[in-house]
Amino acid sequence: MEIIDIHTHIGIVRSWSPYLKGFVKATIHDLISYMDSVGIDLVALLPLPGIVEPYDRIPGTDKVLKLSKEYPDRIVPFCVIDPRCIKPKERIEQYVKRGCKGFGEYKVRLYIDDERSIRVFKICADLGIPVLIHMDKEFNPDIHRFIKVLNKVPDAIFIMHGPGWWKYISAETGDEDYPKGKVIPGGIIEKIFKEYRNVYADISAHSGLNALKRDKEYASIFLRMFSNRVLFGTDFPCISPEGNQFGPNREHIDLLINLGLEKEILERILYKNALRLLGL
């Protein structure tokens, strides 16, 4: 079976785990080594629009494009810009012309329905590339405003990720970013998935993993219900709360495999949805 990780980076990231202090640096060779060790055929390599976390250093689009040329069979390049830059349309068009197959990781300190973001989403919709969005309290809030975006840009394809998205797997939400315990069915994600066919989500990082792990019984119902909308991803080289590394620690892939999903369901989540979205 083929496997595509839709959410990876290279560069320097700070550990948030109490069991691993300091920073982790992952090169392109480390990314390929993770892929080979776990059996990942292809990854989407995501740049960030500048320095978005004060201590992290994740390369921008030019570097991602350059590296993707060295591993054309293993790496699919994404592009990203800061929406406050000049000539956003020309810049994104150029990146797509140079080979980028998606836009993201979109991680900016603007409300998701900010006019400048809407403009970027429209450009991506016209170019036919998906937009991968990190959503939390700080970056691209909030899920209620996202519904306005969906009505304003009905043609855009969104891949959602982050605690500001995944906590809404449950109809009962508090202030916590990574809520635990049983999921109450009928959350906002369910409503959005049912109403808007252009919205997808990746299960990467702690947010996606926690949403599925907190209630595995509901996770298998949810993944069967939305098997054509969920994508496997890890957020490599980010560090897990346990102090090991997403991707090489196999946590996301093992969780999916151990849920007992039917082969066809698993195949969609592991690669078929990604192939379709990336136009491969």
Closest CA relative to residue 56, chosen from 11, 1, 120, 119: 11
CA separation for the pair 232, 55 (Å, rounded): 27
User: Rounded to the nearest whole angstrom, what is the least distance from the CB of residue 221 to Zn ion in the complex?
Assistant: 27
User: Rounded to the nearest whole angstrom, what is the least distance from the CB of residue 6 to Zn ion in the complex?
Assistant: 10
Could you give the string, one character per residue 56-95, with x where binding to Zn ion holds by CB under 5 A and - elsewhere? ----------------------------------------
User: Rounded to the nearest whole angstrom, what is the least distance from the CB of residue 224 to Zn ion in the complex?
Assistant: 26
Tell me if 46 sits within 8 A of 78, measured CB to CB. Answer: yes
Query: Could you give phi then psi for residue 10, rounded to 5 degrees?
Result: -125, 170
Q: Which of these segments, 16-24, 97-105, 212-220, 248-256, binds Zn ion (CB under 5 A)?
A: 97-105
Could you give the string, one character per residue 105-144, with x where binding to Zn ion holds by CB under 5 A and - elsewhere? x---------------------------------------
- Is 235 one of the binding residues for Zn ion (CB under 5 A)? yes
Beta bridge partners of 230: 201
CA separation for the pair 222, 218 (Å, rounded): 6
Q: Which of these segments, 101-109, 171-179, 187-195, 207-215, binds Zn ion (CB under 5 A)?
A: 101-109
Nearer to Zn ion, 105 or 113 (CB): 105
Q: Which amino acid is residue 196, in one-letter code?
A: Y
Q: Which of these segments, 24-32, 103-111, 247-255, 271-279, binds Zn ion (CB under 5 A)?
A: 103-111
Residues 6+ apart with CB under 8 A from 61: 47, 77, 78, 79, 80, 81, 95, 100
User: Rounded to the nearest whole angstrom, what is the least distance from the CB of residue 136 to Zn ion in the complex?
Assistant: 11
Token pair of 246 as six digits: 């997403």
User: Rounded to the nearest whole angstrom, what is the least distance from the CB of residue 56 to Zn ion in the complex?
Assistant: 10
Q: Which of these segments, 74-82, 121-129, 233-241, 252-260, binds Zn ion (CB under 5 A)?
A: 233-241
DSSP letter at 271 equals: I
Neighbours of 258 (CB within 10 A): 9
Residue ranges binding Zn ion (CB under 5 A): 105, 235
